[in-house]
Amino acid sequence: MSDQKPVNAEEIMAVIERNDTARLRAWLKTCMSCGLCSESCFFYLANDNKPEFMPQYKARVTLGELIKKKGNVSREQLQEMKEVAWGRCTMCRRCSQYCPFGIEIALMINIARQCMRTQNVCPDRLMTIDQSYVEFGNQMSIPDEEFVETCEWMAEEGQDRLKDLEIPIDKEDANIMFVVNSREPKYYPQDIQEAAMVMHAAGENWTMPSHGWEATNLSMFSGNLKVAGQVTQTLYDAAQKLRAKKICITECGHAYRAAKYEGPYWTKQPNGQAPVEVTHAVKLFHDYLKEGRIKLKHKFKEPMTYQHPCNLSRSGDLGAYGDGLMEMLCDNYVPMQPDAEWSHCCCGGGGFIPMGADYKKIRMVAGKVKAEQIKKTGCKYVLVPCHNCTDQINDLNKEYDLGIKVMSFKELICELMDLPPHMQPGDEEEAE
C-alpha cells in the first residue's frame, strides 16, 4: 500500500534496546547452530521437516535480521517476518527444553513481535483486540453491565440444576475472585454457570468483579506489552479493591501465564510476584476433589485423554494437578505421548485462534501433530482445560475426522458431582 508510513527503525531499536539483556546476549553468543531444537517443534514436524520451520531459523530470520539491520528493514521484509513470527510459532517454548543451552526462541520471537507491532505489522485481528482491551477492558468489547447481567441470568437459570445458585458480584473479602475468558459471557455463558455450580457446591466463598473480570491477555501475543500490562493491572486492582485472597483464572491457558508469570514484570511488581496470589481452575477443582469438598456419583467410565495446554503444563506449574484431577474424575485416563510439560502445542496458542480465518489453514496443517497424538490414545473423549486449545481441537476434530468430544473440567464435574440433598433442586416448582 502506498499510504503506508515508512518503517521507523528507531522505534524498532527502542524495543530491541529494552530487551537487550545479559541472557539474550548469552543466547546469541552460545547458539552453536546444532539444530537440536528442530524436532521439538510441532511446526517442523507437521510440515514434513522442512528446515524453514526449525526454531533457530525462525528466530534468525526475524529478530536476528532486525538486530543485524538495526531496524532498517522494508515493509515487505516486515511482512515476511510477520508470517514467520505469527504464522510459524506459537511461543509454546518446547524448543527451549530441547536446546542444550536452554535458548528461549519463544522469547526472541516475542521480541520480534514487539518490534513489528510498533510498525503496526501484526495480524489485524490481534490489533483490533488490543483496541478492544483499551476501550472495554476485554477482548470482545463487552460492556461491564452486560457481563454482570449475563452472570445474573446464568445464576437464575442455573437454579434448575443447583438450588439457590448464586454468582456473587463484587463481594468483599472473598477467598476466591474468579475471572473468566470473555468468550464465556459472549458465546458460552454456560461455562460461567458451571464454574459457579462447582464453587457453590464446594461451599467456596467466592466472587466475580464487575470490572476487571477479563482473564485473557492477548496483547501478550500481539506484542503490545503496554496494553498487556494494563490488562494485568486491572486484574490485580480488582482483586486488591475487593481484598480477595486469591485470583482464580478460568480454564484458559495463556491467561494464567500472563497473570501469574509475565504480568508481574509488565506491571513492575517487586520480586516478580503478583500482588495477589494467582491460581487456576485446574488447581482449585483439584483441591476440591482431593479434600472431598466435591463428591462424585461415580467416575467417568469411557476412556478419556487430557490435553496439557503449554501455558498450564510447561509455562505453568499445573501439569501434575491436571493429571491428578483426571485420575480422580476418570476410571480410564489415557495420557497422550509425549505428556505433561513435554506435550506438543495444539497450535491454538500464541494468538493463533483469535488471528482468525486468515490463519486457519496453517493451524490445521500444524495441528496434525496434536491430532495424531489424540488418535493414538484411541479415546473418544478429550478433556481440554483451555479455551484456545478447545477451539483448536474442535477444529482438528472436523479436519482430521477424529470423532471425539471435547469437554472441560467444569462440565465434567457438573455431570459427575453428587450434590448434597439441600442443594438439589426441589420438586416444589413441579408440584405447583
Least distance (Å) between residue 107 CB and ligand SF4 = 9
Could you identify the residue written with the cell 498487556?
A: 228
Among 13, 15, 40, 253, binds ligand SF4 (CB under 6 A): 40
How far CA 247 is from CA of 178, 280, 297, 430, in Å, comes to 6, 8, 29, 39
Stretch that binds ligand SF4, among 15-23, 28-36, 64-72, 170-178 (CB under 6 A): 28-36
HSE-CB at 390 with a 13 A cutoff on CA atoms is: 19
Q: In terms of CB distance, is 34 or 320 closer to ligand SF4?
A: 34
**Is residue 219 within 8 Å of 133, Cβ to Cβ?**
yes
Per DSSP, which regions of 200-299 are E strands? 206-207, 246-249, 277-280
217 interacts with, out of other proteins, ligand SF4, none, CB within 5 to 8 A per kind: none
Total residues contacting other proteins (rule CB under 8 A)? 50
Rule CB under 8 A: say whether 314 interacts with other proteins: yes
Least distance (Å) between residue 414 CB and other proteins = 28
Buried b (16+ CB within 10 A) or exposed e, 99-123: beeebbbbbbbbbbbbbbbbbebbb
Rule CB under 8 A: say whether 26 interacts with other proteins: yes
The residue type of 67 is I
Cell numbers placing 172: 468483599
Rule CB under 8 A: say whether 16 interacts with other proteins: no
Rule CB under 8 A: say whether 35 interacts with other proteins: yes
Rule CB under 6 A: say whether 90 interacts with ligand SF4: yes
Total residues contacting ligand SF4 (rule CB under 6 A)? 26
Rule CB under 6 A: say whether 386 interacts with ligand SF4: no
Rule CB under 6 A: say whether 26 interacts with ligand SF4: no
Q: Is 316 helix (H, G, I), strand (E, B) or coil?
A: coil
For residue 207, the tally of other CB atoms under 10 A from its CB is 23
Could you identify the residue written with the cell 445474573?
A: 152
Cell numbers placing 13: 531499536
Instruction: Return the residues of window 79-118 that contact other proteins according to CB under 8 A.
Output: 96-98, 100-104
Q: In terms of CB distance, is 40 or 311 closer to ligand SF4?
A: 40
Give Cβ neighbours of residue 389 (< 8 Å, ≥ 6 apart).
253, 307, 309, 346, 348, 349
Rule CB under 6 A: say whether 37 interacts with ligand SF4: yes
Among 84, 95, 129, 407, binds ligand SF4 (CB under 6 A): 95
| CA-based nearest residue to 253, from 350, 325, 334 | 350
Rule CB under 6 A: say whether 105 interacts with ligand SF4: yes
Rule CB under 8 A: say whether 130 interacts with other proteins: no
Rule CB under 6 A: say whether 107 interacts with ligand SF4: no
20 interacts with, out of other proteins, ligand SF4, none, CB within 5 to 8 A per kind: other proteins
Question: In a 10 Å sphere around its CB, with 0-12 CB exposed, 13-18 middle and 19+ buried, how is residue 161 labelled?
Answer: middle
Residues that bind other proteins (CB under 8 A): 20-23, 25-27, 29-36, 38-40, 44, 49-52, 54, 56-57, 60, 96-98, 100-104, 261, 265, 271-273, 313-320, 341-342
The residue ranges that bind ligand SF4 (CB under 6 A) are 31-37, 40-41, 43, 55-56, 58, 89-95, 99, 101, 103, 105-106, 345
